[in-house]
Amino acid sequence: MIRRSIGRRNAEGDAQRWTVSYSDFVTLLLAFFASLYSLEVQKPDPPPVVVEVEVDREPEPEPEPEPVILACDEPIGFSGPPMPQRDPPTPPTPEELQLDEIVRALVRDPALEGRIQLDPDPRGVRLSLGTSVLFKPGKDKVLESAHETIAKLGQALGKLDGSITIEGHTDNLPVLTWAFRSNWELSSARATEVLLQLVEVHGIDPARLSAAGYGQYRPIATNETREGRALNRRIDVVVAPTRQSP
């Protein structure tokens, strides 16, 4: 009986021995997974992923290409006539400077304000006086109120040595007087009257003077208006810087 009970206990012990090995195996698996979890917890977070989003924008302009400079060791020959060269401006002569100074001082005279107009002329300078200042309509005698103007003109011209041309001009209206048959005669008579005043009253050398009448044929404004006709009725005194040879 004793042997039979011992054998039964040994058989039961052998039958339960596998549970010990299974428990050890489960314990090892638990330790393994615990270690894996601890490693996962300690791992740093991955860096954030930056996603670039393209935004519509104007394309940058392409740089302009640099100019290419070609070097040439030998001079390039050109055929044909030479290029015309501009002549340098001729400096004014002492006579021209004196003429400009005197006539500008004459025009700036307060007593003659608005009575004389200065303009360039191929022969020198042109001084224009309205005939309404010098004459009555249709007449060729200088008004007494114009004597001061003629006197100042004579004083200025007496300081110069150039030639002087007195030119008479009218508008295109017909002459309404028996003394003159046309505007030709009226313009010539007025120019001659101013010339005589300069010679006889103010002593200008007559060899320097000449008179011409152009009638209505050299207007500077329209004859269709009253203002234009007033501008056309004038006496022009053209002064050259030097005396013209005959």
Helices (H) and strands (E) in the chain, counts: 6, 5
Indicate the number of domains in the chain.
Answer: 1
- Cα distance between residue 166 and residue 191, in whole Å: 5
CB-count burial class (<10 Å; 0-12, 13-18, 19+) for 133: middle
Asked if residue 178 is part of any domain, the answer here is yes
pLDDT digits (tens, 9 = 90+) for 163-180: 999 999 999 999 988 899
Kindly tell me if the per-residue pLDDT of 229 is higher than 80: yes
147: tokens are: 């004597």
Task: Name the 3-class secondary structure at 224.
Answer: coil
pLDDT digits (tens, 9 = 90+) for 6-33: 555 555 555 566 666 777 777 877 777 7
Asked if residue 46 is part of any domain, the answer here is no
Task: Name the 3-class secondary structure at 156.
Answer: helix
pLDDT band for 85, please (50, 70, 90 cuts): confident
Q: Is there a contact between 150 and 202 (Cβ–Cβ < 8 Å)?
A: yes
Asked if residue 212 is part of any domain, the answer here is yes
Asked if residue 62 is part of any domain, the answer here is no
Smallest Cα–Cα separation from 150: which of 137, 162, 164, 138? Answer: 164
Asked if residue 71 is part of any domain, the answer here is no
pLDDT at position 41 is 58
CATH classification of the domain holding 224: 3.30.1330.60
Average pLDDT rounded to a whole number, residues 229-244: 94
11: tokens are: 């058989």
Q: Using the Cα atoms of residue 177, residue 183, residue 185 and residue 186 in order, give the sign of their dihedral.
A: positive
Q: Is there a contact between 213 and 157 (Cβ–Cβ < 8 Å)?
A: no
Kindly tell me if the per-residue pLDDT of 139 is higher than 90: yes
Rounded (10°) CA dihedral 99, 142, 166, 133 = 70
Smallest Cα–Cα separation from 121: which of 246, 13, 240? Answer: 240
Asked if residue 9 is part of any domain, the answer here is no
20: tokens are: 């010990």
According to DSSP H, which parts of 43-130 are helical? 94-107
Task: Name the 3-class secondary structure at 25.
Answer: helix
Residue 137 per-residue DSSP state: T
Rounded (10°) CA dihedral 160, 190, 228, 217 = -90
H/E run at residue 131: helix 131-134
Q: Which domain range does residue 207 map to?
A: 94-239
Asked if residue 207 is part of any domain, the answer here is yes
pLDDT at position 203 is 94
